[in-house]
Amino acid sequence: MAGAARSECYQAMLNALIATRKDRNLSQAKLAKKLGKPPSFVAKYELAERRLDVVEFLVVLSALDEDPLEFIQRQMTLVPTKL
């Protein structure tokens, strides 16, 4: 059960990250260029084929001109209380 909650939470945060990119009118390719990565990097994490670690997550938010604290604050209701 906890694993499912974590997966749902991760997917919800990922959806918010994708929505932020789209709100900024950035394609995956344009974001990848800002990150200095190939477009497949963005595609793979957006499709949940790979997970972002904390540092990558913060760098992506920075490239999106998104305040990490504000982004996380908005997502806190999704975080499970147990691992």
What CATH number should be reported for the domain holding residue 68?
Answer: 1.10.260.40
Q: What is the mean pLDDT of residues 17-42?
A: 98
pTM beyond cutoff 0.95 = no
Question: What number is the average pLDDT over the span 63-76?
Answer: 96
Using a 10 angstrom Cβ sphere, with 0-12 exposed, 13-18 middle and 19 or more buried, the burial of residue 77 is exposed
Q: How many domains is the chain partitioned into structurally?
A: 1
Query: Does residue 83 sit within a domain?
Result: no
Whether 13 is covered by a domain: the verdict is yes
- Note whether residue 70 is domain-resident: yes
Model pLDDT, residue 1 = 41
Full domain range(s) for residue 22? 2-77
